[in-house]
């Protein structure tokens, strides 16, 4: 079908769904985005509460560097992103070890001098991967054409880089062991804490190639999004409309109608029905399965590791508490316990002088930790008192870890609200509140956009390359590529 006559419905106005919608609308397709909430952004939304504007989940803008996925997307859509580079991406703290992560590795090399060869390899690998990702990544490859394209790009991009291929099947821990770094518990803990927030798993399971890109973030640049991270989704929603598409809010899709391998329409909770030639679902596959009434079995097993949800505190605070920090983000690994479940926290605060983010003289703070969803849903089933007690205990635990590094923290708090996996499920429609995408343990066992329906594709952080703004934008390009190929094939067959 001519692109101009192609009726595409996107379920969900997360960054992945909106990026796909805007790019397709720009190409001329008729695009409608249906969003359950009354604001866009999903995990990367900014919401208003009692005079504050809190970032719901994501807080750091990444991929905005020259040639990065967000930079390229903005240029293509004519969006000027309101982002400012952070001098230091974030500060890492564990007991007395305080490490700033600026766009150079000087501080890390000073503290861990033996790690220099590891970082050299990481930089080479990241350079090759950024080059491969330019203009979209044809992965997981669909046939010989995609593989040949990748090989051509790789050879042209970095001659002499063939040895980097050996990393494709390595874990980060094997990579560390190769350099003798596995024997330094401080270094392994530092790397594990970085991988947990970016790849949803730690060095023993994380794939080395995925890690090379994740560990590159402080170097390629972390950005502060003015007005909160949700501004990105708001601008993308504006672009969809500028290119002739529509973004409809309070439109929760409750059913997808299909015959055999073809989807033909959708129904929303307010009783509307829409026809569609193609559907892009900005949802995890488990949530999509609930809409199609069928099990959308992934083509391959994603990972042996379980996925995470998040426990988050949204606080109004006195910004003076953080006045000595060189950045707006600090990652704290507590003195005791395994990583996650409140023992590692990521703290982000709005600048005290940013208009509209907080009442005069205060700042909006987000503190997050990884948590498994099951105990939260079990607590909810046991009744309000049990659930509230669990929430209270987690809140105390997080504030305890914050106070290890900022002893005055409790005195600086003016207001506090908590979100659990139950909250995440309610506000993002993600099954069991599973956020952050899949644990990135293998390059080969990854899910692509295809589903068991010919004209229904996934976008978002449950498909390769996974979580983060640049991640879901790269995945959205792949989904569009496959959608357009499928459309061409259908036209040829008719």
Q: How far apart are CA 299 and CA 303, in angstroms?
A: 12
Can you count the helices (H) and strands (E) in the chain?
16, 20
* Residue ranges in 337-376 that form contacts with ligand FAD under rule CB under 6 A: 368
Count Cβ atoms below 10 Å from residue 49 Cβ, excluding itself: 12
Name which position in 86, 192, 318, 461 contacts ligand FAD (CB under 6 A).
Answer: 461
Fill in the DSSP letter of residue 44: G
Query: Does 332 sit near ligand FAD (CB under 6 A)?
Result: no
Name which position in 342, 421, 460, 465 contacts ligand FAD (CB under 6 A).
Answer: 460
Q: How far apart are CA 354 and CA 186, in angstroms?
A: 36
Q: How far is CA 307 from the centre of its chain?
A: 13
Query: Does 10 sit near ligand FAD (CB under 6 A)?
Result: no
Q: How far is CA 492 from the centre of its chain?
A: 37
Using omega within 30 degrees of 0 as the cis cutoff, is the peptide bond preceding 140 cis?
Answer: yes
Residue 43 or residue 302: which is nearer to ligand FAD going by CB? 43
Residue 410 CB, nearest approach to ligand FAD (Å):
22
Residue 72 or residue 181: which is nearer to ligand FAD going by CB? 72
Query: Does 74 sit near ligand FAD (CB under 6 A)?
Result: no
DSSP per-residue letters across 18-34: HHHHHHHHHHT-EEEEE
Phi, psi of 413 (to 5 degrees): -80, 130
Q: Which position has the token pair 């109608």? A: 257
Query: Does 42 sit near ligand FAD (CB under 6 A)?
Result: yes
Site string for ligand FAD, 248-267 (x = CB under 6 A): ----xx--------------
Query: Does 43 sit near ligand FAD (CB under 6 A)?
Result: yes
Name which position in 32, 37, 432, 474 contacts ligand FAD (CB under 6 A).
Answer: 37
Residue 338 CB, nearest approach to ligand FAD (Å):
18
Q: How far apart are CA 252 and CA 236, in angstroms?
A: 20
Query: Does 437 sit near ligand FAD (CB under 6 A)?
Result: yes
Name which position in 94, 189, 430, 447 contacts ligand FAD (CB under 6 A).
Answer: 430
* Residue ranges in 46-65 that form contacts with ligand FAD under rule CB under 6 A: 57-60, 62
Count Cβ atoms below 10 Å from residue 286 Cβ, excluding itself: 15
Residue 17 or residue 228: which is nearer to ligand FAD going by CB? 17
Q: How far apart are CA 127 and CA 131, in angstroms?
A: 6
**Binding stretches for ligand FAD (CB under 6 A):** 11-17, 34-37, 42-44, 57-60, 62, 252-253, 282-283, 287, 310, 312, 368, 428-430, 435-437, 460-461, 467-469, 472
């Amino acid at each position: 079908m001519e692109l101009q006559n192609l009726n595409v419905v996107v379920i969900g106005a997360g960054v992945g769904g909106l990026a796909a919608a805007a790019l397709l609308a720009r190409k001329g397709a008729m695009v409608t985005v249906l969003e359950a909430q009354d604001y866009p952004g999903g995990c990367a939304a900014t919401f208003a509460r009692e005079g504050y504007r809190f970032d719901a989940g994501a807080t750091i803008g990444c991929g905005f560097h020259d040639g990065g996925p967000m930079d390229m997307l903005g240029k293509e859509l004519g969006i000027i992103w309101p982002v400012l580079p952070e001098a230091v991406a974030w500060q890492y703290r564990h007991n007395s070890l305080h490490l700033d992560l600026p766009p150079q590795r000087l501080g890390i090399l000073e503290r861990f001098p033996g790690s220099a060869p590891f970082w050299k390899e990481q930089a080479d690998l990241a350079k090759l991967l950024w080059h491969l990702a330019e203009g979209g990544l044809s992965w997981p490859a669909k046939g010989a054409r995609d593989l040949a394209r990748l090989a051509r790009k790789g050879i042209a991009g970095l001659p002499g880089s063939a040895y980097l291929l050996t990393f494709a099947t390595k874990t980060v821990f094997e990579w560390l062991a190769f350099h003798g770094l596995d024997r330094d518990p401080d270094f392994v803990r530092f790397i594990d804490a970085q991988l947990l927030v970016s790849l949803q798993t730690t060095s023993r399971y994380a794939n080395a190639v995925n890690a090379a890109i994740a560990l590159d973030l402080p170097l390629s640049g972390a950005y502060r999004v003015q007005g909160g991270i949700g501004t990105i989704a708001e601008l993308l929603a504006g672009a969809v409309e500028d290119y002739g598409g529509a973004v409809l809010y309070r439109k929760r899709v409750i059913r997808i109608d299909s015959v055999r391998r073809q989807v033909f329409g959708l129904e929303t909770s307010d009783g509307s029905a829409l026809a569609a030639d193609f559907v892009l679902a900005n949802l995890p596959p488990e949530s999509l399965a609930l809409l199609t009434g069928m099990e959308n079995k992934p083509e391959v097993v994603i990972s042996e590791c379980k996925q995470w949800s998040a426990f988050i505190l949204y606080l109004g605070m006195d910004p003076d508490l953080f006045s000595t920090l060189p950045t707006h983000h600090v990652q704290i690994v507590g003195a005791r316990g395994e990583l996650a479940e409140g023992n590692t926290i990521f703290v982000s605060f709005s600048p005290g002088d940013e208009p509209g983010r907080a009442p005069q003289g205060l700042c909006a703070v987000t503190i997050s930790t990884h948590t498994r969803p099951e105990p939260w849903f079990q607590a909810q089933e046991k009744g309000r008192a049990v659930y509230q007690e669990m929430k209270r205990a987690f809140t105390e635990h997080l504030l305890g870890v914050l106070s290890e590094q900022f002893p005055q923290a409790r005195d600086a708090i003016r207001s506090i609200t908590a979100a659990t996996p139950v909250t995440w499920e309610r506000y993002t429609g993600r099954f069991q509140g599973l956020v952050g995408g899949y644990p990135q343990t293998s390059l080969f066992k990854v899910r692509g956009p295809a589903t068991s329906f010919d004209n229904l594709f996934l976008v978002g952080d449950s498909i390769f390359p996974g979580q983060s703004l640049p991640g879901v934008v790269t995945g959205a390009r792949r989904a569009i590529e496959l959608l357009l190929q499928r459309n061409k094939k259908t036209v040829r067959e008719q």
